[in-house]
Structure 1
Amino acid sequence: MGKFDGKVVLITGGARGQGRSHALRFAREGADVAFCDIADQIDTVPYGMAKESDLAETIKQVEDLDRRCVGVRADVRDRDQVDGFVQQAVSELGRVDFLLANAGIFSFGTVAEMSDTTWRDMIDVNLTGVFHAIRAVLPLMIEQNYGRIVATSSMAGKAGFGNIGHYVATKWGVIGLVKSVAMEVAANGITVNAVCPTTVDTDMIQNPAAYKLFLPDAGEVTREEAATSFQALNRIPVPWVEAVDISNAMAFLCSDEARYITGETIAVAAGQNTANAG
């Protein structure tokens, strides 16, 4: 028996990376899975985003674990699309117990130089997208007097970082949103928390644009060369954690073991958090 038998988890940004890892982690614990993903490119994002083939692969891998899976294309920037995703999940799977607000993008530029579109895309995906997802599930969770919501923030939500001020702003915003919603629904059997990872070994980090952020004066940078710079962020001598490490924290926060944890942030940060008072 799994700890999530009979439960349903909803995940935004589930076609690959951390989102796919979360889907598989929860499926292995017995949960049925619904996820959405834009499965398309946003012009201001400097790396290749998920495709429809990635969405199909996540569905296959969940179903290979003998769990039901609903995977749909939806853009978290669009309230109607998020509401439609949640309605379809409930229609096909019968309920919603957990929300993992995971969808996010990463791009670069100084505040002085970035375009309005770059700023807007970041805010709309990383912060407004979390708001849309939370708002879509709250009426259901309030009605059933039970729910677990976990949003993906970042260690960048606890400090400032140059050249990614728009990203940092969204991740600070996610923490503030989580703490506020936790207060609003504490009497309704709903907990609301955030996970703050250091860098994670996914396509969002493993790309030339991200490498250039850390090695701006270098030419073509290999993964091995980038690892040295990324490792400098963390006290535990690793350049990045694995997606499953974030999934494990998500699973804990949705479990009965964490039933009295709400309005909290958990750093999965390989010690990067030791340098910060937050």
Structure 2
Amino acid sequence: MGTLDGKVALVTGGARGQGLAHAHALAKEGADVVLVDICEQIASVQYGLATEEDLTLAAKSVGALGVRVAAHKVDVRSSSALDAVVAETVATFGSIDIVVINHGIWTRGALWDLTDEDWLDTIDVNLNAVWRALKAVAPQLTKQRSGSVIITASVNGVEAQAGAAHYTAAKHGALGLMKSAALEFAPYDVRVNAILPGFVDTAMTNWQGCYDMTGGKPGSTRADHEVAARHWHAMGGLIKPDEISGAVVFLASDAARRITGVELPVDGGHLVLSTFNPNPS
């Protein structure tokens, strides 16, 4: 028996990366899973986002674990689309017990070089759509008077990152939203927490702009990126998506039934490292 037998989990950004890893982990503990992803490109994002094929393959891999699974192509920037997938999930599965708000994008640029599109896309996906997801599931969670919401935030929700003011602002905002949501949902026995991942090895961190940032120079390579990443975490190296998933499963489970409003770093000790000046010149 799994710790999540009989539960239904809705996972946004679930076609690959952290979202898919979390979906696998939840399914292994017995939860049925509903995957949501955009499956199209956002123009301001410099790396490829998930595709419909990714989502189809993700659903097959989750279903192979012996649970019920559904997959939906949804743009989380649309409240009506989120409302529709919540309604369909409840109609099909009967409840929503776990909500993993995992979607996100990350782009780079000095704040004075960011276009309106750069700024607004990041804020809309990484902050506004967190609110939209919370709003969409609220009627069901408060009606059933139970549930656990886990938001994928970032260590950049509690620290700054040069070259990513829009991302940093969104993640700080997401943590403020999480805390307010925890207070508002608490009377209904619904918990809301956030995970603060460190540098996770996904498509979001595998593109030239990221290599240049970690490598410290234009034209840096994946090999440079891997070497530099050793200094980002006290425990060294890049973090694998499934190394985040244990914390998600814990927060989703009854073992965490009295935990709400918490920012949980899963960062290999990044936040306890001594600070440094990234631009000492």
TM-score of the pair, normalised by structure 1: 0.96
- 1:69 and 2:78 matched: no
Query: Which residue of the partner structure matches residue 250 of structure 1?
Result: 248
- Cα offset, 1:217, TM superposition: 2.5
Query: Which of 263, 269, 272 matches 1:271?
Result: 269
- Percent of aligned positions with the same letter in both sequences? 39
- Cα offset, 1:147, TM superposition: 0.7
What code does the residue aligned with 2:236 have?
A: P
SS of the aligned residue for 1:151 comes to: strand
- Cα offset, 1:89, TM superposition: 1.3
- Cα offset, 1:275, TM superposition: 3.6
Query: Which residue of the partner structure matches residue 146 of structure 1?
Result: 146
Give the number of aligned pairs.
Answer: 275
Equivalents in 2 of 1:208, 1:92: separation in Å? 42
- 1:222 and 2:221 matched: yes
Cα contact 2:77–2:128 (8 A) shared by 1? yes
Cα contact 1:47–1:209 (8 A) shared by 2? no
Equivalents in 2 of 1:237, 1:145: separation in Å? 41
- 1:129 and 2:129 matched: yes
Cα contact 1:10–1:99 (8 A) shared by 2? yes
- Cα offset, 1:131, TM superposition: 0.7
For structure 2, the residue ranges without an aligned partner over 5 or more in a row are 276-281
- Cα offset, 1:94, TM superposition: 1.5
What code does the residue aligned with 2:224 have?
A: E
After TM superposition, the structure 1 = structure 2 runs for residues 180-199 of structure 1, keeping only pairs within 5 Å, are 180-199=180-199
Cα contact 2:229–2:236 (8 A) shared by 1? no
For structure 1, the residue ranges without an aligned partner over 5 or more in a row are none
Equivalents in 2 of 1:166, 1:65: separation in Å? 38
Query: Which residue of the partner structure matches residue 11 of structure 2?
Result: 11
- Cα offset, 1:276, TM superposition: 7.7
Equivalents in 1 of 2:242, 2:51: separation in Å? 21
Equivalents in 2 of 1:66, 1:88: separation in Å? 21
What code does the residue aligned with 1:224 have?
A: A
Cα contact 1:155–1:196 (8 A) shared by 2? yes
After TM superposition, the structure 1 = structure 2 runs for residues 228-239 of structure 1, keeping only pairs within 5 Å, are 228-238=227-237
- 1:29 and 2:29 matched: yes
What do residues 224-265 of structure 1 show as CA deviations (whole Å, max 9, x unaligned)? 211122221211122x11111211111101111111110001
- Cα offset, 1:213, TM superposition: 2.1
Q: Residues 249 and 276 (structure 1 numbering): CA distance in 2 closer, same or farther, change over 3 Å? A: farther
Equivalents in 1 of 2:221, 2:161: separation in Å? 23
Cα contact 2:22–2:248 (8 A) shared by 1? yes
After TM superposition, the structure 1 = structure 2 runs for residues 92-171 of structure 1, keeping only pairs within 5 Å, are 92-171=92-171
What code does the residue aligned with 1:8 have?
A: V
- 1:209 and 2:182 matched: no
SS of the aligned residue for 1:266 comes to: strand
SS of the aligned residue for 1:195 comes to: strand
Equivalents in 2 of 1:27, 1:201: separation in Å? 22
SS of the aligned residue for 2:200 comes to: coil
SS of the aligned residue for 1:235 comes to: coil
Query: Which residue of the partner structure matches residue 279 of structure 2?
Result: none
Equivalents in 2 of 1:55, 1:206: separation in Å? 19
Cα contact 1:8–1:33 (8 A) shared by 2? yes
What code does the residue aligned with 2:75 have?
A: D
Cα contact 1:158–1:276 (8 A) shared by 2? no
Equivalents in 1 of 2:224, 2:213: separation in Å? 13
Measured on the aligned residues, the alpha-carbon RMSD in Å equals 1.3
SS of the aligned residue for 1:204 comes to: helix
